[in-house]
């Protein structure tokens, strides 16, 4: 083979490789919808409970046996199920993450990410880029100025699923955060925008004298109270319906887990300043967020940033952008710790 032919062969091989990779990216939403359907139809739960054939699963779920088989086959190609022989399936450890209530379950996350309200906002992404901000109001039929949280308030079933999906996300980082947060000198911890309060409840269980508070929207707080009862910390827990853009309860420790990325810089400053205004002497804050890497480096942060553009008024940030927010709101970042997920734990002190 001549040098010219060798260069051409390499070029053709690279082109084919790039084309296959591009095809995987183009069809990426197929995977999202397979996961959503697998979760909604409880396939992993049925198989784990002993219904190992498509016919057995279809009888339990009320689905069609043939199309149930086709979904199982597709899910098995993604590593969620394994062929157990004789037309039977078994659940893999990864597939087990779609089981209801399983340790580390991401079932609700799979349903929410594939749900209509989510892909409709993504469908407006080109317009969001053209116009300089989310077009989710038009995509979801909301009034100008409404947020995705207003949508959930008007659609409580979907709001409940979203809250459960956030509990899924919390479950991925909760052990790392619990191990990293120093509770010495902390009497009251406020989970700001904490949904059902999974994080503060976990901290309360590690420190019996700690009082915990969740501040969130009125339609969320009943779920937080219920979760506190299930966690066995209800006697030390308070759920406050409120608006962190108006005020935040006084505390020694403020927990801001995946909150700041929902909002633009001006709104983040309001949240952080309200925390600082009510802070007890020596107060600290813990911010848990993804962080955007350098341009061109593979990472989850830059992808999540586009999700925020599509569905919210927020964004993901790099450390310099976070520090600028902290400096303008009376906080200083004093430590940063990675987790086993794309999230980082940032500890702040009041200055």
Residue 301's alpha-carbon distances to 104, 304, 306, in angstroms, are 21, 5, 9
CA 106, chain centre distance (Å): 10
In angstroms, the CA 38 to CA 95 distance is: 9
Phi, psi for residue 280 in degrees, rounded to 5: -70, 155
Q: Which two tokens stand for residue 326?
A: 């902290």
Per-residue confidence (pLDDT) for residue 170, from 0 to 100: 84
DSSP designation for 134: -
Per-residue confidence (pLDDT) for residue 4, from 0 to 100: 58
Question: Burial level of 278, CB count in 10 A (0-12/13-18/19+)?
Answer: middle
Indicate the length of the chain as a whole number: 351
Go through the domains of the chain in sequence order and give each one's CATH number: 3-102 (1.10.10.10), 118-350 (3.40.50.150)
Q: CB count, 10 Å around CB of 346?
A: 23
Per-residue confidence (pLDDT) for residue 3, from 0 to 100: 57
- List Cβ<8 Å contacts ≥24 apart for 64-68: 68/41, 68/43
Per-residue confidence (pLDDT) for residue 13, from 0 to 100: 86
Q: Which two tokens stand for residue 290?
A: 């993804």
Per-residue confidence (pLDDT) for residue 149, from 0 to 100: 85
For residue 219, indicate whether it is catalytic. Answer: no
Catalytic residue among 46, 219, 261, 313: 261
Q: Are strands 251-257 and 188-192 parallel, antiparallel or unpaired?
A: parallel
Q: Do the beta carbons of residue 214 and residue 224 sit within 8 Å?
A: yes
Per-residue confidence (pLDDT) for residue 9, from 0 to 100: 62
63's CB contacts (< 8 A; 6+ apart) are 41, 57
198's CB contacts (< 8 A; 6+ apart) are 167, 170, 171, 174, 227
Q: Which residues of the chain have a pLDDT value below 50?
A: none
Of 42, 64, 107, 78, nearest to 51 by C-alpha is 42
Per-residue confidence (pLDDT) for residue 147, from 0 to 100: 87
Q: What is the pTM of this model?
A: 0.85
């Amino acid at each position: 083979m001549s040098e010219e032919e060798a260069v051409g062969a390499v070029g053709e091989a690279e082109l084919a490789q790039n084309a296959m990779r591009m095809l995987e990216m183009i069809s990426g939403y197929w995977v999202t919808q397979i996961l959503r359907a697998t979760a909604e139809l409880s396939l992993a739960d049925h198989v784990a409970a002993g219904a190992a054939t498509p016919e057995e699963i279809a009888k339990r779920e009320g689905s069609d046996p043939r199309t149930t088989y086709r979904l199982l086959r597709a899910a098995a190609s993604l590593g969620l199920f394994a062929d157990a022989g004789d037309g039977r399936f078994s659940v893999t450890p990864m597939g087990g993450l779609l089981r209801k209530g399983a340790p580390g379950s991401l079932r609700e996350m799979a349903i929410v990410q594939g749900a209509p309200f989510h892909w409709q906002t993504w469908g407006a992404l080109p317009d969001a880029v053209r116009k300089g901000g989310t077009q989710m109001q038009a995509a979801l039929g909301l009034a100008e100025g409404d947020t995705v949280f207003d949508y959930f308030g008007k659609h409580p079933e979907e709001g409940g699923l979203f809250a459960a999906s956030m509990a899924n996300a919390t479950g991925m980082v909760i052990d790392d955060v619990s191990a990293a947060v120093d509770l010495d000198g902390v009497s009251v911890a406020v989970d700001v925008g904490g949904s059902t309060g999974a994080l503060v409840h976990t901290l309360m269980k590690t420190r019996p004298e700690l009082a915990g508070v969740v501040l969130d929207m009125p339609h969320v707080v009943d779920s937080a109270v219920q979760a506190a009862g299930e966690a066995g910390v209800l006697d030390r827990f308070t759920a406050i319906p409120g608006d962190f853009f108006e005020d935040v309860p006084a505390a020694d420790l403020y927990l801001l887990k995946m909150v700041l990325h929902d909002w633009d810089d001006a709104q983040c400053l309001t949240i952080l300043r309200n925390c600082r205004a009510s802070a007890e002497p020596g107060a600290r804050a813990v911010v848990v967020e993804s962080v955007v890497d350098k341009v061109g480096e593979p990472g989850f942060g830059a992808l999540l940033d586009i999700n925020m553009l599509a569905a919210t008024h927020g964004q993901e940030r790099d450390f310099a952008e976070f520090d600028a927010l902290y400096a303008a709101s009376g906080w200083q970042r004093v430590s940063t710790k990675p987790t086993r997920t794309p999230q980082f734990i940032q500890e702040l002190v009041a200055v």
